[in-house]
Amino acid sequence: MVTYDSGGGIRAARLWWMLRAISVPAAVLDGGLEAWQTAGRPLVSGDDIGDGTDRAPAVPPLTPFPRPEPWAGIEEVAAISRGDRPGTLVCAPPAGGFDGSTPTRYSRRGHIPGSRSLPGRDLLDSAGRMLPGPELAARADAVLHGADSPVVLYRGGGISAAGTALALTLLGRDGIAVYDGSLEEWSKDPALPPELGG
């Protein structure tokens, strides 16, 4: 199964991560629908779908098998933040979202204490494709060198974090989890203060 979108790959990466979490093999079309169209590939829509001319190959039935390891809950994240549990927290929004200098739709600005900043959009080129391997590795290594596993990724609601998870998976990193509640959940709890600054 190949996932794609028309918005920079974030939603396609989220679907890829969710399929991976139930043991369904999937890939993401690098560059999404725009890259497909730029390459001159055909599209079908409306009445063309299902007319029998371009039938998709039959897909054997899939049996989902849920795996808990792709997800991290708030208790695990809080324990990593306090240093009570091994792991590395990675915040995926742009720098202004990480340090709290830009407005946010969440209850409070900033990041989960102890987090490192690795903006997901910085891992893409101007066409929305993943950076070339060496450049991607250099950006990730600058942030994650010596990082403990698991690497727990988050952003606002866990959607954009999946794009960073895809990049790290392409680099061969294991032990990745997404904190699905992300800043949406963390910032609502007054007992869990966010951290400001870089």
Sequence ranges of the domains in the chain: 2-48, 71-186
CATH number 3.40.250.10 is the correct assignment for the domain at 71-186: yes
Stated pTM of the model = 0.89
In this structure, the dihedral spanned by the alpha carbons of residues 76, 79, 80 and 85, taken in order and rounded to 10 degrees, is -100
ω into 68 cis (within 30 of 0): no
Give tens-digit pLDDT for 106-148. 778 899 999 999 999 899 998 889 999 999 999 999 999 989 9
Cβ-proximal residues to 65 (8 Å cutoff; 6+ apart), any chain:
22, 23
- Which 3 state secondary structure label does DSSP give 91? strand
User: Tell me: the pLDDT tens digits for 23-62?
Assistant: 999 999 999 999 999 999 998 887 665 555 556 667 778 8
Q: How far apart are CA 169 and CA 140, in angstroms?
A: 11
